Amino acid sequence: MKLNILYSFLNTDLQIIEKELEATIHAESPVLRQASLHLLQSGGKRIRPVFVLLAAKFGQYDIHVVKNAAIALELIHMASLVHDDVIDDSDLRRGAPTIKSKWDNRVAMYTGDYIFARSLEVMSEIKNPLAHQLLAHAIIEVCKGEIEQIKDKYDFGQNLRTYLKRIRRKTALLIASSCQLGAIAAGVEEHVHKQLFRFGYYVGMTYQITDDILDFTGTEKELGKPAGGDLRQGNITLPVLIAMEDPRIMALVGSVHENISKDELTDIIDTINASGAIEKASEMGDAYLKKAFAILETLPPNRAKNTFSEIAKFIGKRKF
């Protein structure tokens, strides 16, 4: 089953968003236009727009208002991906060459800036000051997370708390903000949009933990990039942290460096996969999902609530 079957009733509105995303990043500059379109067309799940729309269904849903929050959040996400690829020195994303590999780091930096600026233009259509404050706060946290991520690279002494704080800033906050901003754009009352934020937050944590697990268990075809890429780049994720509780694995993992051979990396991945760390990491992902479901229970019943529930279940089980 594919994720998008769960929200096919949003298809008309998602197509509006897709068209406007493309129109928004259209630039006279050929490099900028090609680089931005390249990223947009390489796909992505559009999880943030979907969450914006679903959360807006808890209020006065008007696609011509809420679309702005959806487009802005997807653009911010895209901008952060472009800058992330510079930091991670990644050549592939979603199976396609990254902007920094197809052009260079300088083009990637300014393409990210440009897409980010475009998101502000779209956001300026939303008149609610609270929406702007919340979004600015989320973006600040994303930036802090990205700086921390540089610092934490190849730091094999980091603990679980560092990891959780990092994925909170890297992923969970923007998904949480997608829910909250969609709700605010639809005039949802405060206690409900705050609950939607929490729901998005917990789902986002599970989403990233699953992503980090898949980097070990997925195939190159499923991932659109070689497995074990996180570890090679020095990103210490949950499966590694758990596996390193065993001092022998700790010693093995501690030897990882940027230019490790494919065979050596495969050996380490196999060791981590065989250590039971994947199962424990998965349990932690499930624990966050359980919290998400508990929040969902408190929300008024409607179709979007059911869809949120289905999506959360899917994310808990997703294999790619």
- Do residues 166 and 235 lie in contact, with contact meaning Cβ atoms separated by under 8 Å? no
Cβ-based nearer residue to a copy of itself, 80 or 282? 80
Structure tokens at 307: 């869809």
Site string for a copy of itself, 19-58 (x = CB under 8 A): --------xxx-xx--------------------------
- Do residues 10 and 53 lie in contact, with contact meaning Cβ atoms separated by under 8 Å? yes
Q: What angle do CA 207, 233, 36 make, to 5 degrees?
A: 65
CA–centroid distance for 127 within its chain: 26
Q: φ, ψ for residue 92 (rounded to 5)?
A: -130, 140
Site string for a copy of itself, 147-186 (x = CB under 8 A): xx-xx-----------------------------------
Site string for a copy of itself, 70-109 (x = CB under 8 A): -------------x--xx-----------------xxx-x
- Do residues 50 and 203 lie in contact, with contact meaning Cβ atoms separated by under 8 Å? no
Site string for a copy of itself, 116-145 (x = CB under 8 A): xxx-xx-xx--x-x--xx-xxx-xx-xxx-
Torsion region of 84: left, alpha or beta (phi above 0 gives left; psi -120 to 50 gives alpha):
alpha
Closest distance between a copy of itself and the C-beta of residue 284, in Å?
A: 25
Q: Which of 14, 69, 73, 111 binds a copy of itself (CB under 8 A)?
A: 111
Based on the shown chain and the rule CB under 8 A, indicate whether residue 250 belongs to the binding site for a copy of itself.
no
**Using CA of residue 267, residue 208, residue 89, residue 247, what is the dihedral sign?**
negative
Cβ-based nearer residue to a copy of itself, 121 or 189? 121
Closest distance between a copy of itself and the C-beta of residue 31, in Å?
A: 6
| Bridge partner list, 97 | 92
Distance CA 167, CA 244 (A): 19
The closest alpha carbon to 274, from 232, 235, 239, belongs to 239
The closest alpha carbon to 189, from 113, 300, 73, belongs to 300
Cβ-based nearer residue to a copy of itself, 122 or 241? 122
Closest distance between a copy of itself and the C-beta of residue 94, in Å?
A: 21
Size of site (CB under 8 A) for a copy of itself? 41
Distance CA 309, CA 188 (A): 19
Cβ-based nearer residue to a copy of itself, 157 or 276? 157
Q: Report the interface residues with a copy of itself, using CB under 8 A.
A: 27-29, 31-32, 83, 86-87, 105-107, 109-114, 116-118, 120-121, 123-124, 127, 129, 132-133, 135-137, 139-140, 142-144, 146-148, 150-151
